[in-house]
Amino acid sequence: MKIIVIGAGKLGYTLAEHLTAEEHDVIVIDKDDDVVERCSGSLDVICLKGNGANAKVLLEAGVDKANIVIASTANDETNMLACLIAKRLGAKYTISRIRDPEFNESQTFLQNELGIDVAINPERATALEISRLLRYPFAGSIESFARGLVEMVEFRAVETDPIVGIAMKDLAQKVPGLPRVLYAMVERNNNVIIPDGDFFILPGDKVFVSGDMVMITNFFRFLGRNNQKVRSIMVLGGGRISFYLARIVIPMGIHVTLFELNSKKARTLSELLPKVDVIFGDGTDQELLQEQGLSQVDAFVSLSNRDEENLMTALYASRSGVKKIIAKNSRMAYTDILNDLGLDSVISPQNITSSTILRYVRARENSNGTHIERLYRLIDGKAEAIEFVARKGDSYIGIPLMKLNNRKGSLVSVIVHQGKIIIPFGKDHIEEGDHVIIISRDLGISDLNEVLYQ
């Protein structure tokens, strides 16, 4: 497909990188000479210098033949205007990043009036992700599928876990009473493994399990992991993510203490969030953190604009005994180091946003094939979890899985049939309308027929 990306900041660059890897014809537009030069030198894309909201520049980029236009600049108004002009000039589909909370309430109206097919708020999406991690503090990450019926939860195995050191095929026999979840994927020594019957989990492995909410809850209760509840959190930084997060978790009964170094912003947040303790001060100051009761809180969330501050303060909070640490990080090169240091819950707004946008791109690419409902990039893009809705007439319908060929490196994780969760084995089959969740080490899958075939 021909895709135009307007704005090549962190998000735009990440999108262009992923889209070219999936062999799309990508054109990048940016006003900054250095950004254009960087993209030209490191990505297989066509780069144009100019304002993406300028009709002349869009026409030069071939907007009239574009399948998708993605507006990802740092300015909401520019993004909305670019989508409006692009749609009027013939673009088939438009996606806009809209971040300002003031636009949130009128988002549906703006989309309809400006011809925006999809509006994405990275900060709110990130806050929702953090709120899920606070509900399950033992998890490194949580993904939800089939409209919340299915969850995939990541956790790090420890030596005392009863599932450690036992072959998958022997778990039910050797660990009586173990709730039946699917062991979808394991990361070990930076390698992604799709477990088979002979595979066994080792201490330190990152394990991804799938099931419905009851299964998952019972599984972690069996492991003794779900006795930790988050009732109070400290948040470093008073940006938009922090604002959205506070609005989400206060109704959950979680007390929030927020640190903001800018006096004007701290005053504004105090007015907008009357139930939050907003502290005007440097949240990286260890003495101030201890004065405000760092050692007594259940979770610490570092959301400043500087990755180094986030990571160093998160490490200090961890050393101070805080059990749940969540840190914002935009630099993927740090990820392995952070895992080695024990920071498993590291979030990236641009990765969350790019995964959402890529889902829409794949859905448009395969509009005549199996419909993609959800797509998540896992383990720093080394694997994907994709939710499809099975289509009538496809070759795999009604055939037992054991009689189908399965794409190497891919696994049918869960089937949801008429609201019932099925952890699939060889005799199970897929019917029309079923939600099917695939785990794959191959990136770019856009059709269930690519995974299951006769």
Give 261: exposed, middle or buried? Use CB within 10 Å, 0-12, 13-18, 19+.
middle
Task: Look at residue 28 in the predicted model and tell me its pLDDT.
Answer: 95
Fill in the DSSP letter of residue 414.
Answer: E
Q: What is the DSSP string of 159-199?
A: TT-TTBTSBGGGHHHHSTT----EEEEEEETTEEE---TT-
Q: Count the neighbouring beta carbons within 10 Å of the beta carbon of residue 274.
A: 8
Looking up tokens 């630099």 gives 331
110-161 confidence digits (pLDDT tens): 777 888 888 888 899 899 889 988 888 888 888 888 777 888 899 999 999 9
Q: Are 201 and 224 in contact (CB under 8 A)?
A: no
**The token pair that represents 197 in the structure block:** 């019957």
Cα–Cα dist 183/19, whole Å: 30
H helices, E strands: number in the chain:
14, 24
Q: Are 355 and 399 in contact (CB under 8 A)?
A: no
* Region of residue 389 (phi > 0: left; psi between -120 and 50: alpha; otherwise: beta): beta
Task: Look at residue 261 in the predicted model and tell me its pLDDT.
Answer: 93
Over the chain (454 residues), the average pLDDT of each successive run of 10 is: 93 90 91 90 92 94 94 93 94 91 73 84 90 85 80 90 94 92 89 90 93 87 83 95 94 94 94 95 93 94 91 92 89 62 77 83 68 75 84 89 87 88 87 90 82 84
Task: Look at residue 136 in the predicted model and tell me its pLDDT.
Answer: 81
Give me the sheet containing 118-120, strands edge to edge.
46-49, 25-30, 2-6, 68-71, 94-97, 118-120
Cα–Cα dist 146/154, whole Å: 18
Q: What is the dihedral of CA 114, 120, 123, 127, to 10 degrees?
A: 130
Task: Look at residue 26 in the predicted model and tell me its pLDDT.
Answer: 95
Full set of structural domains in the chain with CATH: 2-120 (3.40.50.720), 127-223 (3.30.70.1450), 232-347 (3.40.50.720), 365-453 (3.30.70.1450)
377-399 confidence digits (pLDDT tens): 777 778 888 888 888 888 899 99
**Type of residue at 55:** A
* Region of residue 300 (phi > 0: left; psi between -120 and 50: alpha; otherwise: beta): beta
Cα–Cα dist 373/359, whole Å: 8
Cα–Cα dist 132/139, whole Å: 9
Cα–Cα dist 226/222, whole Å: 9
Task: Look at residue 337 in the predicted model and tell me its pLDDT.
Answer: 63
**Type of residue at 62:** G
Q: Write down the pTM of the prediction.
A: 0.76
